[in-house]
Amino acid sequence: MQGGVERTFMPMLPIVSIQSLQTQMPQQTLNINVGVLGHVDCGKTSLVAAMSSVLSTAALDKHPQSKERGITLDLGFSSFSVPLPQQLQHLSYDELQFTLVDCPGHASLIRTIIGGAQIIDMMVLVIDVTKGFQAQTAECLVVGEIAARSMVVALNKTDLLPEAVRSKAVKKATKLIRETLAATKFAGAAVIPVSAKPSPSGIQQLQDWMVASAVQQHTDPAAAQAAAAAAARPFLFSIDHCFPLKGQGTILTG
């Protein structure tokens, strides 16, 4: 109080640059759902684990019955992110995220497989190189023809092949797979030899394919027109899963 006039002192606020504010803003993420399908025990979940950097509580067969039986019983969700490719810089996103939907492979769980396929943008068909095409492999391929726009074959478990014959066996398996796919809409699909354990190999090539496929889907005029038409329709979301994700909160999927 001075001369009967009360003075109010305002605290000094820090001066923040526009650049620093921009770095603090939440990132806008372009998400791509990738269905990972294949015959039971072809190594889908191990492959997903090798690719993922973020796991949900429903990922990697955490359900007690899945652990007890050693197979995937429900949809699992996990993800990894990469910088937004140069070809997509015109979009209002900061990063590209791939959500991996790990689908069961057992024949009795085909309804769950179809439920997972309804939300996918692209598909990874996992084939055990030591066994080739099996019953549920064919079923998953049919599901993929209905639900997915693009597909890659992950020729898994190459580490189980003797090193002396590995290259020859992979070429033979790749030839048979391409002959099988020739009569489908996925004729000419890429076949990538991979191994999730004990030392992951082929994982980077598989992720590179996903990035290239995402770029193709978002730069194709017909696909862009279809996406714009879908965005203009009223939003309808059918929830089929609800689970917590550490650091993110409750996640609804459908």
Percent of the chain at pLDDT > 90 equals 35
Q: Record the pTM.
A: 0.74
Residues in a beta bridge with 160: none
Which stretches of the chain are DSSP H helices? 18-24, 44-51, 64-69, 110-117, 135-147, 166-181, 203-219, 221-232
Q: Whole-angstrom Cα distance, residue 120 to residue 40?
A: 20
225 or 116, greater pLDDT = 225
* Structure-block tokens of residue 179: 């002959």
Asked whether 14 and 128 are in contact (CB, 8 A), the reply is no
What is the 3-class SS of 45-58, one letter each residue? HHHHHHHCCEECCC
Does pLDDT of 108 surpass 70? Answer: no
